Amino acid sequence: MKKSALSFYIFVVMLNLSCAQETENKVITPEKVPFIAELFVDDLLIPWGFTFLPDSSILITEKSGELIHFKDGKKSIIGNVPEVYQRGQGGLLDVVAHPNYADNGWVYFSFSSAEGIEKGGNTSIFRAKITAKALTEIQVLYKAGPNTTKGQHFGSRIAFDNDGYLYFSVGDRGARDDNPQDITRDGGKIYRLMDDGSIPKDNPFVDQDNAKAAIYSYGHRNPQGLIKHPETGEIWNHEHGPRGGDEINVVKKAANYGWPLVTFGINYSGTPITDETSMEGMETPIHYWVPSIAPSGMAYVTSDKYDNWKGSLLVGSLAFQYLERLEMDGKKVISREKLLDGKGRVRDVREGPDGLIYVAIEGKGIYKLVPTK
């Protein structure tokens, strides 16, 4: 195919994909919002993740490797954090308190680790307790391999389900042709462990030769959103597409999410990856974005403190620097709103124990959305 014909083909495909969804779900900027954005934790560089503790204090990861405890308006540094592999998108990444933290004190982390015989790094999951402003009882639960010096697609979100299983994501590490579709290799997967790191006996591939027994689903690209749906108990994820094709998926046992065999995106160069957007035996996303918003962080609103927000999904946009609210009807997106437009790269979003929404923005800090009603 000649270059001009190829360019026209790509344009038509992407236009059709965009129109098919954007006509139905075009993102709008509301004339009035039901909150005032109040800077709650200031002076943060890249607050990659944060979690609330039972006393309403906050643990915050800085991508650089710092772990911050914010309590009563003051920040303190938690020491003894494992050394992170600093390259590209790698660093100290997600943090989640155990659902029974008040009883057991465990906190779970993801980070890019150089542990291993190969040069470079890969995603690692560990848990620890906090004593006297330092991490103690550090236990590595999973280390993806092999290491690579590539700096992209560490994934790294963490979530617990209603049964106490630990889920986490590892991106394809920039090796889309090798990792996502191969269950004998790490990368491009969502994993499930017991909270102590052991492998659940009913994981889908535990009895398959050479398979990574921790894998729960595969065919992912770079999932940077992972939550438990508070009403259904399902695990939902979102992941970065290439140029177009960010997705929201419901994570199912043994399911294949298609990357890179099916996608709504194209290469960054503008060339096609595939002409397939669906394929038998592969899951279709419940929502996709064209163009990409580069999603990071996700929260399901259970609070009734904001007008008409209950039941919505909140997703941060790194590319366009806003917070998106997706109004849901079950698994269908029925409308989209652009919030905090231009405030900065939204890295994470959580609903706090007080029912308020908290948003981590790079170069700023964590904002509290204070209702105006």
Edge-to-edge strand ranges of the sheet holding 47-52:
47-52, 58-62, 67-71, 74-78
Residue 51, Cβ density class (10 Å: 0-12 exposed, 13-18 middle, ≥19 buried): buried
CA distance linking residue 32 with residue 63, whole number of Å? 33
Of 69, 98, 153, 229, which one is the catalytic site residue?
A: 153
Residue 48, Cβ density class (10 Å: 0-12 exposed, 13-18 middle, ≥19 buried): buried
How many CA atoms are closer than 13 Å to the CA of 51, on its beta-carbon side? 22
- Retrieve residue 363's tokens: 């170069």
238 counts as catalytic? no
Q: Which residues pair with 296 in a beta bridge?
A: 316
Q: Is the peptide bond before 242 cis (omega within 30 degrees of 0)?
A: no
CA distance linking residue 63 with residue 175, whole number of Å? 23
- Cβ contacts of residue 285 below 8 Å, gap of 6+? 247, 248, 249, 257, 264
- Cβ contacts of residue 250 below 8 Å, gap of 6+? 234, 235, 236, 283, 286, 331
Q: Which residues pair with 84 in a beta bridge?
A: none
Helix (H) or strand (E) holding 22: helix 3-22
| Whole-angstrom Cα Rg for the chain | 20
Active site residues: 153
